[in-house]
Structure 1
Amino acid sequence: MKKKLCLAALLVTLALVATGCNQASRVSYNLSQEADNFNDIRQITVMNCIQGDVLFQMTGKMSITADVEDNQLEVIVEDENGEYKKHFIGLSDNVTYVVEDVTTNDVDQYQYTMNFNPKMWLPFDAETID
């Protein structure tokens, strides 16, 4: 009886764990692993939100870690010789970034583009109507 109860409890636990892992979570994990293993090409765009300027972009095979404690991105890049270099990107209240996976060059229904409108990052003064 105890064995059947333990087996039933194990099956219920496995069922709960299996239903908790949805496809999006698995895909997200797999994509992150591929990028962190330097199999994908990523592009980082760093923007100054006050001026609306793109400060710089990095493109290549890279592993990116957000270091919340030091308020920076830690970027390890693999170069064409298979050597690795580590870069740090400091973040602040007015600097933000976007990371894109740009591995594929195929054009199909899943291809997307990302356009930045610098005007949306500029501060403005709201006028009130009297």
Structure 2
Amino acid sequence: MAATLAACSTEADRVSYNLSQQADNFNDVRQITVINCLQGDVLFQMTGKMSITADTVDNQLEILVEDENGEYKKHFIGLSDNVTYVVEDVTSGDVNQYKYTLNFNPKMWLPEVATIE
């Protein structure tokens, strides 16, 4: 770890490294928003204590979440060239340290139905 910190050449590098470590150790609350770039729709949001890894081989995000019982759940978000995401650190707000919510956009899950007469 000392070698990694020694490699940080600027204060911004050190701060970025420390913030990443805090989040990966489930000390910060983050919110991830997944967006359909073609339609401009939010596919879903997830908020909680989470570690996020971008798996470029499988083209997905791997999200490990700690819940209020100290248990862990793993989620996968498939990415494509028309889906992007934003991760926000929301720890500085007045939040429950173990709050874990997942919001889906219902328009993305309800199929359009055509009636044939």
TM-score category (smaller protein):
0.7 to 0.9
How is 1:14-93 mapped onto 2 (pairs within 5 angstroms)?
A: 21-93=9-81
| In structure 2, C-alpha distance between the alignment counterparts of 1:89 and 1:78, rounded to whole Å | 17
1:123 match? none
Higher relative contact order (CA 8 A, sep 6+): 2
Which amino acid counterpart does residue 13 of structure 2 have in structure 1? S
> Number of residue pairs matched?
90
What 5-or-longer segments of structure 1 have no aligned partner? Answer: 1-17, 107-130
Which amino acid counterpart does residue 72 of structure 1 have in structure 2? Q
Identity percentage of aligned residues:
82
| In structure 1, C-alpha distance between the alignment counterparts of 2:40 and 2:53, rounded to whole Å | 24
| In structure 1, C-alpha distance between the alignment counterparts of 2:8 and 2:75, rounded to whole Å | 36
Question: How far is 1:95 from its partner?
Answer: 0.2
Q: Deviations over 1:55-93 (max 9, x none)?
A: 000000000000000000000000010000000000001
What secondary structure sits across from 1:30 in the alignment? helix
Question: How far is 1:47 from its partner?
Answer: 0.2
Which amino acid counterpart does residue 82 of structure 1 have in structure 2? G
Greater Rg over alpha carbons, structure: 1
Which amino acid counterpart does residue 95 of structure 1 have in structure 2? V
Query: Which structure 1 residue ranges, 4+ long, deviate > 2 Å from structure 2?
Result: none
| In structure 2, C-alpha distance between the alignment counterparts of 1:33 and 1:47, rounded to whole Å | 26
| TM-score for both structures, normalised by structure 2 | 0.73
Root-mean-square deviation (CA, aligned residues, Å) is 1.8
What 5-or-longer segments of structure 2 have no aligned partner? Answer: 1-5, 95-117
Which amino acid counterpart does residue 83 of structure 1 have in structure 2? E
Q: Identify the structure with the greater helix proportion.
A: 1
2:114 match? none
Q: Identify the structure with the greater strand proportion.
A: 2
Q: Do 2:32 and 2:47's aligned partners in 1 also have CA atoms closer than 8 Å?
A: yes
